[in-house]
Structure 1
Amino acid sequence: MIMFLIRALIFLASAAVGLIVADWILPGFRIDWSDAWGFLLAIVIFAVLQSVLTPWIASVARRNAPALLGGIGIFSTLIALVIVVLIPGAGLTIGEPYLLTWILAPVIVWLVTALATLLLPMIFIKKKVDERRSGA
């Protein structure tokens, strides 16, 4: 149970990092920083959608279009972003330049989220190992 919670927190943190980096890099990608609850809502909805959509899209692609399996992560990120942007009060908008932002946002968010999901556990594990070594 504790490992599940740790993994969930890491996934939420990685989703937050991905959305924040997209906000920094892309001119049309906007996080409403004045509404902290809205951004928190966007992170939770995005992370839940990602965790549900990725395996579902992968199974559909495996059955119908196996050649598309490599792009499942980016595609599920795009769908999750579309849904989060459509939810009022979620604290996330995508504006001008529309086409460029909609093409680059899923790639950036997916890449940063994947890297953060890989690196964050290493940081926490290293910290725990160091704590146990110093306490022993």
Structure 2
Amino acid sequence: MGRYARVMIMFLLRALIFLVSAAVGLLVADLVLPGFTVDWRNPGGFVLAIVIFAVLQSVLAPWLARVAQRNAPAFLGGIGIVSTFVALLVTAIIPNAGLTIGQPWWTWIVAPMIVWVVTAIATFLLPALFLKKKVQERRS
């Protein structure tokens, strides 16, 4: 397998891991937060919500980090939560995206924290699961 093929496979695996971790984060928030609703009647909407959220999160986090580094370095630690909030906000306002965030008001504060933490943990643990399977496949 050539270098280009390996690079593309790694890129696709990272994208898949990020999409799965975004789905896990949204699912956990749906389970534990009142007012955070994933529309299960429309599976396409949920997939759209995952893709929109994941793409926005992957674009916003580095951009906001650069802006904060130039203008307000003290805010660098909170960039993940801020980019998660913005990604959730945009996803929630897109019609038919399968995600609604409503009342109580504090859902808007707690949801980004939950989604950010769960997504970070899933992004850390999922590669280990994929690698474990790959190692087991090569051993057998």
Report the TM-score when normalising by structure 2. 0.94
What root-mean-square deviation, in Å, do the aligned CA atoms of Structure 1 and Structure 2 show? 0.5
After superposition, give the CA deviation of every residue in 1:93-132 in whole Å (9 maximum; x if it has no partner).
Answer: 011102x100100000000000000000000101110111
Provide the residue aligned with 1:106 in structure 2. 112
Provide the residue aligned with 1:26 in structure 2. 33
User: Which residue identity is paired with 1:41?
Assistant: L
Consecutive aligned runs of 4 or more in structure 1 exceeding 2 Å deviation:
none
Structure 1: gaps (5+ residues): none
Specify which of 91, 94, 98 is matched with residue 91 of structure 1. Answer: 98
Provide the residue aligned with 2:22 in structure 1. 15
Specify which of 19, 23, 47 is matched with residue 54 of structure 2. Answer: 47
Provide the residue aligned with 2:133 in structure 1. 127
Counterparts of 1:96 and 1:2, CA distance in 2 = 42
User: Which residue identity is paired with 2:74?
Assistant: A
Provide the residue aligned with 2:84 in structure 1. 77
Identical-residue share of aligned pairs (%): 71
Counterparts of 2:97 and 2:52, CA distance in 1 = 8
